[in-house]
């Protein structure tokens, strides 16, 4: 919602000031605004408006004699209400579309391709948090006897990712029994995340097929162990750091070191980014809004990877607070929408025939 404290002239001047700063990385004064040709105002009038915007906390002076730069408050109003609504240029859109056509059916290939596309188009760092397959809904669980005392467990989720592991068993069991158990597990857990296989669900399964209590208990323990390990080591892919470091802000060594340190702390980064998954829509995080201390001088665009209505991962663009939000936001949205369409269209019905 537009801030009612600002009249239209102040909003226009604030938008022009921030847009100018995004382009030049130089403090913006009244002369630069006059030279832009946007205003039929005197220099004194513009200076007065800039002074008011500074008093209201939307702009700041770096030095007494310099022009103004946006504050976090100014950026927030800009991205929420003032920035121009850009679309992806037709030539660039066509290039993106051609590259997206190369996205294959493998999830890792999808993530790699999307990261490569964004890195080739923009000069910021791309962060991709891969989908958490243990949080995604299940389609199929299949148990296969591979030796007298070994069972292969194959788990297929709704985004087409397989997870496989072995169970060591002490009791003899046949493949027919394992097929029956596979059908029970698929029926009970289909549409739920593997992470929801808790003690209550385990007890329900044992009550229905008590003869498989030992196998079910071993399966439960293994799933809990792998799920915990996967969540703690969830994959975060970063690319394009070298391009971002060429930007003026990164001439400040201390600033650069802080950002690079934060990017290296993948577990912390993953934990923080996971916080935004529940929002479900594209978000822009600026300055002091960051939950990562070393990103306080950065801007971050976040776009979720979704399976239906469920957020299963995210693609982020990290740059200085002076990021070109009007250009990057629609580009990021277009790419993730295409990937989400792909994820939502996955059909693994053929895989279900394994247990029929």
pLDDT, tens digit, 9 for 90 and up, residues 245-286: 889 999 889 999 999 999 888 777 877 787 787 676 889 999
Asked if 215 and 152 touch (Cβ cutoff 8 Å), the reply is: no
Where does 56-105 have alpha helices with state H? 72-77, 90-100
Asked if 122 and 334 touch (Cβ cutoff 8 Å), the reply is: no
Predicted confidence (pLDDT) per residue in 297-338, tens digit:
999 999 988 766 667 778 999 999 999 999 999 989 888 887
Tell which residue, 57, 41, 56, has the closest CA to residue 9: 41
How many CB atoms are located within 10 Å of the residue 61 CB?
A: 13
Lowest-confidence segment of 169-183, 192-206, 308-322 by average pLDDT: 192-206
In angstroms, the first-to-last Cα distance of the chain is 54
Domains of the chain and CATH, by start = 8-82 (1.10.10.10), 90-132+234-344 (3.30.450.40), 138-233 (3.30.390.60)
pLDDT score of 226: 66
Q: What value does the mean pLDDT of the chain take?
A: 81
Predicted confidence (pLDDT) per residue in 106-157, tens digit:
566 677 778 888 888 888 999 988 755 445 556 778 888 887 778 888 877 6
């Amino acid at each position: 919602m537009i801030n009612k404290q600002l009249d239209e002239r102040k909003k226009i001047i604030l938008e022009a000031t921030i847009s100018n700063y995004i382009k030049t990385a130089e403090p913006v004064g009244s002369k630069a605004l006059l030279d832009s040709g946007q205003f039929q105002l005197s220099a004194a009038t513009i200076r007065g408006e800039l002074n008011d915007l500074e008093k209201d906390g939307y702009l700041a002076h770096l030095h007494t004699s310099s022009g103004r730069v946006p504050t976090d408050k100014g950026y927030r109003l800009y991205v929420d209400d003032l920035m121009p609504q850009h679309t992806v240029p037709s030539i660039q859109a066509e290039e993106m579309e051609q590259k997206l056509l190369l996205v294959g059916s493998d999830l890792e290939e999808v993530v790699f391709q999307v990261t490569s596309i964004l890195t080739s188009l923009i000069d910021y760092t791309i962060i991709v948090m891969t989908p958490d397959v243990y949080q995604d809904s299940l389609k199929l669980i299949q148990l296969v006897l591979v030796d007298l005392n070994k069972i292969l467990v194959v788990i297929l989720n709704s985004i087409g990712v397989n997870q496989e592991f072995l169970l060591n068993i002490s009791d003899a069991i046949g493949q027919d029994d394992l097929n029956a158990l596979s059908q029970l597990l698929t029926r009970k857990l289909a549409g739920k995340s593997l992470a929801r296989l808790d003690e209550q669900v385990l007890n329900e399964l044992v009550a229905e097929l008590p003869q498989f209590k030992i196998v079910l208990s071993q399966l439960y323990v293994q799933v809990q162990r792998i799920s915990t390990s996967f969540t703690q080591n969830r994959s975060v892919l970063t690319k394009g750091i070298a391009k971002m470091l060429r930007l003026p802000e990164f001439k400040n060594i201390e600033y650069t070191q802080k950002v690079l340190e934060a990017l290296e702390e993948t577990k912390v980064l993953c934990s923080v980014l996971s916080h935004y998954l529940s929002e479900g829509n594209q978000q822009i995080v600026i300055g002091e809004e960051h939950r990562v201390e070393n990103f306080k001088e950065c801007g971050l665009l976040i776009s979720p990877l979704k399976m239906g209505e469920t957020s299963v991962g995210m693609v982020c663009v990290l740059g200085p607070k002076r990021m070109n939000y009007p250009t990057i936001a629609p580009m990021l949205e277009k790419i993730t929408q295409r990937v989400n369409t792909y994820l939502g269209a996955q059909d693994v019905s053929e895989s279900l025939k394994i247990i029929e």
